Each structure stands twice: as C-alpha cells, then as structure tokens.
Homo-oligomer: A and B are copies of this chain.
Amino acid sequence: MKTAIVLLSGGMDSCVTVALVREAGYDVAALHVNYGQRTQQRELQAFTDICDHYAIRKRLICDISHLAAIGGSSLTDTTIVVSKANLTSKEIPSSYVPFRNANILAIATSWAEVCGAQAIAIGAVEEDSSGYPDCRDVFFRAFEHVIATGTKPETTIRILTPVIHLSKADIVREGIRLNAPLHHTWSCYQGEGLACGECDSCALRLRGFYEAGTTDPIPYAIRP
C-alpha cells in the first residue's frame, strides 16, 4: 500500500486532507509540529484526536521552537497583536510565520525518504486564504524540485495539495461528504478554550461553514 505523510496541524484543512488522501488509497502517516505558536497545546490535542479517530499509528511530533525564537509573526511573538480579520486586504497579515511551510516540508521529506513514503500531503489553500506566500501552488512545485535534487536518485516524493484550489465552503462540504471529524479540529490563532471568532483563521472558517449552509460544531467566544 502506498504511504502519504500528511502535515496535520489539527485545523479543518489538514483534517479534510487526511480524509481525501485516504480516499485516494494512501496509508496515512501524520506529522505535527510545535513551533511555539500561541495555541500549541490545543492544536496538539486536535492532532491527537484526529489521529485517534482515523486510527493512524505512524505519528511524528516535532518541536521547532526556534521559529518562535526567530519571531517575526503574531502567532509566535506575543508582543505582536493578532490582527482582527480583514478578508479583503491584499497584504500578507502579521500571522505569517516566515517560511514555516518549508521548514515543515523539509522534516516531512526526511521522514518520507527514510520510511519510503511516496507522497507528502499538505492542506494549504491558495485563493480563499490569508495570502501566505508558502501556501501557493508555485511554492509547492518549486519544493518538489528541491526534493528531486536533494534526495537520493532512487527517491521519488510527490507533494499532494488536494484542497489548494478549493474554497473554505468546498472544504467543509468535502469534510461532511467524507464524514471527517470536523468537531475535533481547531483553527483559531489565539484561543484554546473557545475559538475567538475574530482572527483571520476563524473568519475564513466561519464563512466557509456559512456558505456551505451548515454550522461549525466547535465553540466560539463570538460568532459574528
């Protein structure tokens, strides 16, 4: 059976990515990183709950807290305010963690090369998102070329991005179609008990559920 390493943050997009990759016939190995983000504990809980739901045995949890030491993001530096959502802005928001996805993909590639996985899957969303540069298709295609040049000649690893061109509403619909455990997922950038309802990530998620004609099962402090 072919194996895919799924980057499983514990958010809705990565959870639906697990569901889609399983549907495509892959055995899933799950990678999670703690990078000193504000909601680290809550995300790790979501990761564990989703892995348990799908009985995923191959799990790797990595600590890359140097991203917090490097800083430059409101997600890892508590002196930078997490902006309230502005879904019409074209600016890259303060929540951008510089080059985070490359750091995580590099770990995933090391793991994939050693365990013989054929693919790495990531739940990045390009259009209906915050505009992070490392969530774009052009970045993932460039990273595939880095994998091809930086691993053994016999190693072949594809990067799967099954939700990259979906809207958040489409992702909700796919999650429901595949009976994904969306109630276990966590997307909020700043709350760990109740989702704040005000950050970019909450706003995108809530709009997705609204446009899909359904209700988000997780608890919010504020529902706009």
Contact = CB atoms under 8 A, between A and B. Distances in A.
A134 B153 CA distance: 11
Given A60-B66, A103-B103, A106-B103, A153 B139 contact: no
Interface residues of A, number: 43
6 contacts: A64-B64, A98-B152, A99-B106, A102-B150, A133-B151, A134-B151
Interface of A is mostly: helix
Contacts of A70: 60, 107, 110-111, 114
A99 B113 contact: yes
Interface in A106-136: 106-107, 109-111, 113-114, 133-134, 136
A64 B143 CA distance: 20
A181 interface: no
A139 B133 contact: no
A60 B142 CA distance: 27
A54 to B, nearest CB: 22
Contacts of A92: 152
A109 B114 contact: no
Contact of A100 (B62, B63, B64, B110): B110
A125 to B, nearest CB: 15
Please tell me how many copies of the chain the complex holds.
2
Contacts of A60: 66, 69-70
A72 interface: yes
A142 B146 contact: yes
Interface in A45-70: 60, 62-64, 66-67, 69-70
B146 A150 contact: no
Nearest to A69: B60
Contacts of A183: none
A97 B149 CA distance: 15
Given A70-B111, A151-B99, A139 B134 contact: no
